[in-house]
Amino acid sequence: AKTAVYGLFSMQHRGQEASGVSANHNHHINTVKGQGLVTKIFTPQALEILKGNSAIGHNRYSTAGNESIHDAQPISAKYALGEISIVHNGNLINKDSVRSELIAEGAIFQSNMDTENILHLIARSKEKKLQNRIIEAVKKCAGAYSLLILSRSKMFALRDPHGVRPLSIGRLNDGGYIVASETCAFDLVGAEFIRDVKPGEMVIFEEGKDEIKSLQIFEEVDPRICAFEYIYFARPDSTVEGKNVYNIRKKLGAVLAGKCKNIKADFVVPVPDSGVPAALGYSGASGVPFELAIVRNHYVGRTFIEPTQEMRNLKVKLKLNPMSEVLKDKSIVVIDD
């Protein structure tokens, strides 16, 4: 669990509303989750609860559901095959129709999350093995999902057939494995990147076994990584689908400069933080000097992932302040992600 918490800390930029970890100890799954940042939730007392050799974790920003603690992940349950816990990055576009069908059949929901659909589909399956239940469940779901599923003795990691959200596998120094949305999580815990989970693939880790089992559960795949990962969402030190995010952002800025050759300016100003590499790329390609003329307050979180537009507007004012002394009477190019 401690390794999972470090991984979540390194990926705090992916969600700041809530965080949680489930850990498997002696075939029993314990979960700690709460609203707020990773450092607030995972106290020494919380880590005492989370003993065991396998764990999954999640940072939340709301794309579906509410701000309620019931909509924080992981989502855990007891069912016919024992205990199970799930974390999900993505959006199920047929969430409402699947949920309506499940409710009509007698399912009782505890949250507004699309992730809970997957839990119910697994629990209601007639398949004898969990891996077959998972395959049956995700084949009823349309949309984006990178999933980690923890059972009594195994962990399953899988991606939708388009691979919309990233998911990578790393090897820990002590010989264990780590799976994360971004490779920056590997750097913090000293893990070595092995490979990405392929679109439509499920990988299975089993307690006491060193090898990774792989199943291609969707034969027809159409890889479509979300462009927003490169533009804004991922941390610049992460590698997404074999491409370094920082270098991609610099190239985007350079391409923009090539399209804006007739624009004259005194200097280029980035909107920090994700606009900085793009502005450096623009400056390098255009020869227009680079100036950090907008100052960011780093104690304000990411503003895109606030749930309401009002909160985003306020956060931008709290977060960014243009330096009037530097900008006065200047002609500038402003680069945002």
Provide CATH code, domain 242-335.
Answer: 3.40.50.2020
Q: What is the pLDDT of residue 313?
A: 86
What value does the mean pLDDT take over residues 110-132? 96
Residue type, 224: R
Q: Are 113 and 60 in contact (CB under 8 A)?
A: no
Per-residue burial over 248-267, b = 16 or more CB atoms within 10 Å of its CB, e = otherwise: bbbbbbbebbeeeeeeebeb
User: What is the rounded distance in angstroms from the CA atom of residue 20 to the CA atom of residue 8?
Assistant: 9
Residue type, 189: V
Q: Partners of 334 in the beta sheet? A: 269
User: What is the rounded distance in angstroms from the CA atom of residue 140 to the CA atom of residue 131?
Assistant: 15
Q: What is the pLDDT of residue 300?
A: 77
Cis omega before residue 74 (within 30°)? yes
What value does the mean pLDDT take over residues 177-181? 98
269 phi-psi bin (left φ>0, alpha ψ -120 to 50, beta other): beta
**Whats the size of the chain, residue-wise?**
337
Provide CATH code, domain 2-226.
Answer: 3.60.20.10
Among 140, 25, 145, residue whose Cα is nearest residue 73: 145
List, for residues 134-168, the tens digit of each pLDDT value: 999 999 999 999 999 999 999 999 999 999 999 99
Q: What is the pLDDT of residue 69?
A: 83
Euclidean distance between the first and the last CA atom of the chain, given in angstroms as a whole number: 34
Share of the chain above pLDDT 70, in %: 98
- Positions of CATH 3.40.50.2020 in the chain: 242-335
What value does the mean pLDDT take over residues 194-198? 98
pTM (predicted TM-score): 0.91
Q: Are 268 and 332 in contact (CB under 8 A)?
A: yes
List, for residues 283-332, the tens digit of each pLDDT value: 999 999 999 999 998 887 777 777 788 888 888 888 999 999 999 999 99
Question: Residue 328: exposed, middle, or buried by beta-carbon count in 10 A (0-12, 13-18, 19+)?
Answer: exposed
List, for residues 207-264, the tens digit of each pLDDT value: 888 899 999 999 999 999 999 999 999 999 999 999 999 999 999 999 999 999 989 9
Q: At a CB cut-off of 8 Å and minimum separation 6, what does 96 contact?
A: none
Q: Partners of 202 in the beta sheet? A: 158, 215
DSSP H helices in the chain? 2-10, 38-41, 44-49, 95-104, 115-124, 130-138, 184-189, 227-228, 245-259, 276-286, 309-319, 324-327
- Positions of CATH 3.60.20.10 in the chain: 2-226
What value does the mean pLDDT take over residues 275-283? 97
Among 183, 211, 132, 213, residue whose Cα is nearest residue 14: 183
Q: Which two tokens stand for residue 299?
A: 């104690």
List, for residues 54-110, the tens digit of each pLDDT value: 999 999 987 655 667 888 999 999 999 999 999 999 999 999 999 999 999 999 999
Q: Partners of 294 in the beta sheet? A: 322
Q: What is the pLDDT of residue 182?
A: 98
196 pLDDT more than 90: yes
User: What is the rounded distance in angstroms from the CA atom of residue 35 to the CA atom of residue 69?
Assistant: 6
User: What is the rounded distance in angstroms from the CA atom of residue 90 to the CA atom of residue 73?
Assistant: 13
